[in-house]
Structure 1
Amino acid sequence: MTDTTSPDQTDADRALKTRHRTMWASGDYPTLASDLIWELGPRVVDAAEVRPGDRVLDVAAGSGNAAIPAALRGATVVASDLTPELFDVGRRIAAEAGAELEWREADAEALPFPDDEFDVTLSTVGVMFAPFHQAAADELVRVTKSGGRIALINWTPEGFIGQLFKTMKPYAPPLPEGAQPAPLWGDEQHVRELLGDRVTDVSAVRQTVVIDRFDTGEEFRDYFKSHYGPTIAVYNRIADDPEQVRALDTALAELGRTQGLDAPGGAMEWEYLLVTARVR
């Protein structure tokens, strides 16, 4: 197993990463990705203009919804993630699709790759969950060659997943000192500041993915309670407080309703920010 800790990590840093790995390994994120957002992978691959022969890194790749389409284009791909428990499903999907790629355990804030290693660095609603944004952004730039492309899809603060985290916040533990909320990666100005003048040709476009998997707010809530690591972690934290559990149950079902569920033919549109840039 790859050692993803860096020599200067503190015990608190290591404990935080262990909690994150456990969180994303809980539930069934690969099924959620397949059921709801698999199409985002090909979208970011298109935006990055991945070509045969490119060396591509997918950061926080999960089960590979961007890495696998990139490999199918003829690129040499490394799918990296802090949570290697997600790789088994990814390997199966890749084999069924006829895609060959490398799977590697890696912390987005301390990637185990040399400088200037990749022609393209991607992340699809992945790197945004690294708690220390500047460290993760620095790594994206560091491992990408001069003239290489970075392409990211991140949920926006105003969109559905941003509102999901806002709804869960009163029941969640406070962020560690220095950490920032994940949906900030969906704010254009924030991403521009993170990447700074090390990149050029920055494009940031808000788009949506249509989610028609759920008929009611309760159906959405129950699916996320059983599949989505961050939601599972919040419920685990309040499990001994029935009143808080009921309150969060109600709030999440209502969130689904406000986003179009419980109406005939109701569907949700989840907003994300698609960012592309070229390393100077």
Structure 2
Amino acid sequence: MSDFSAVTRAQRRAWGLGDLSMLAARTPPLYAERLCEELDLRARERVLDVAAGTGTASIAAARRFCEVVASDFVPESLEAARRLAGVEGLELDVRVADAQDLPFADGSFDVVMSTFGAMFAPDQERVAAELLRVVRPGGRIGLLAWRPDGVVGAYAKVIGRYLAPPPGVPSPFGWGTARRVRELFGGHGTLRTATRTQPFRYPSVEFAVGFLAEWYGPARGALAALGEERRAALRDDMAEVWRSADRAGDGTLVADAAYLETVVVKEGRPNG
């Protein structure tokens, strides 16, 4: 079994370089609301949001009168989630936790979800096992992951040309393929997948590159690790990714990012 502890520590540092609340505030939360509807959340259900970031999906679940726990390994993100929930007068419990080692009892949640978060944990099999462990029999798991052939996947490939990912770590974008999620969750219940898109709308391509360089931790870390010449080249390549996906045609930027939505209903009957 691989030891991914060093990779996990590096990831925690990378995500901590940015501010996901800035990104979330400028991203329409269509993906989170849609997932909550696909999961058919009911009032008083106990919901765990894994790798919750600043709580976009957690807050969407809380709006449906669920009892929500938001977990993430970046404490600053959870504090932002708590603050944002409070603005709406919503109850939100937060727990610092690694998706690979969740501090919750077996079967303690009706629903477990993760939106573009758990996919980045290096030990994919362990993450899947943890999600399955903490949801009750008959409960639901909802996952969103960027597709490798979408604009976010292309962005990651560009960064990877300048800074190679750690050896032996599977691509997080495997979660964005039906084949991989079946490998991880097949045989543990019923599973359905659908490809969706999330729009990104920015004032311009140049704004998008600068905005992500400032507030998206992995991009900020990648640029900081390069010399001036290669940093400029990476920014140019990032801009080209956005231009290739842009459908605005008026000088602003509108790009639809493809992702895979997965819903698993865990086998077994609810206790009691």
Shared fold by TM > 0.5? yes
Question: How far, CA to CA, are the matches of 1:37 and 1:181 in structure 2?
Answer: 26
Question: How far, CA to CA, are the matches of 1:214 and 1:189 in structure 2?
Answer: 36
- Specify the alignment match of 2:235 in structure 1: 249
Cα deviation digits, residues 179-208 of structure 1 (max 9, x gap): 2111111111101111120121x1110011
- Specify the alignment match of 1:39 in structure 2: 30
- Specify the alignment match of 2:137 in structure 1: 146
- Specify the alignment match of 1:275 in structure 2: 262
Q: Is the 8 A contact 1:78 1:102 kept in 2?
A: yes
- Specify the alignment match of 1:65 in structure 2: 56
Aligned pairs (5 A) from 1:79-94: 79-94=70-85
- Specify the alignment match of 1:107 in structure 2: 98
Q: Is the 8 A contact 1:215 1:262 kept in 2?
A: no
Cα deviation digits, residues 135-174 of structure 1 (max 9, x gap): 1111111111110001111110011101100111111233
Instruction: Pick from 143, 158, 164 the counterpart of residue 167 of structure 1.
Output: 158
Shift of residue 82, structure 1, vs aligned partner:
1.0
| Structure 1 segments unaligned to the other structure (5+ residues) | 1-7
- Specify the alignment match of 2:174 in structure 1: 184
Structure 1 letter corresponding to 2:266: V
- Specify the alignment match of 1:221 in structure 2: 209
**Secondary structure at the residue paired with 2:26?**
helix
Q: Is the 8 A contact 1:214 1:261 kept in 2?
A: no
Instruction: Pick from 215, 219, 224 the counterpart of residue 236 of structure 1.
Output: 224
Question: How far, CA to CA, are the matches of 1:227 and 1:38 in structure 2?
Answer: 18
Q: Is the 8 A contact 2:8 2:121 kept in 1?
A: no
Shift of residue 261, structure 1, vs aligned partner:
6.3
Instruction: Pick from 183, 194, 206 the counterpart of residue 205 of structure 1.
Output: 194
Q: Is the 8 A contact 1:39 1:65 kept in 2?
A: no
Structure 1 letter corresponding to 2:261: L
**Secondary structure at the residue paired with 2:265?**
strand
Q: Is the 8 A contact 2:7 2:122 kept in 1?
A: no
Question: How far, CA to CA, are the matches of 2:70 and 2:112 in structure 1?
Answer: 10
Q: Is the 8 A contact 1:72 1:98 kept in 2?
A: no
Question: How far, CA to CA, are the matches of 2:40 and 2:138 in structure 1?
Answer: 13
Q: Is the 8 A contact 2:78 2:96 kept in 1?
A: no
Q: Is the 8 A contact 2:185 2:264 kept in 1?
A: no
**Secondary structure at the residue paired with 1:36?**
coil
The alignment yields a C-alpha RMSD, in angstroms, of 1.7
Aligned pairs (5 A) from 1:110-121: 110-121=101-112
- Specify the alignment match of 1:4 in structure 2: none
Cα deviation digits, residues 199-258 of structure 1 (max 9, x gap): 21x111001112222322x221111110111111211221xx222112101101111111
Identity %: 35
Q: Which runs of 4+ in 1 moved over 6 A?
A: none
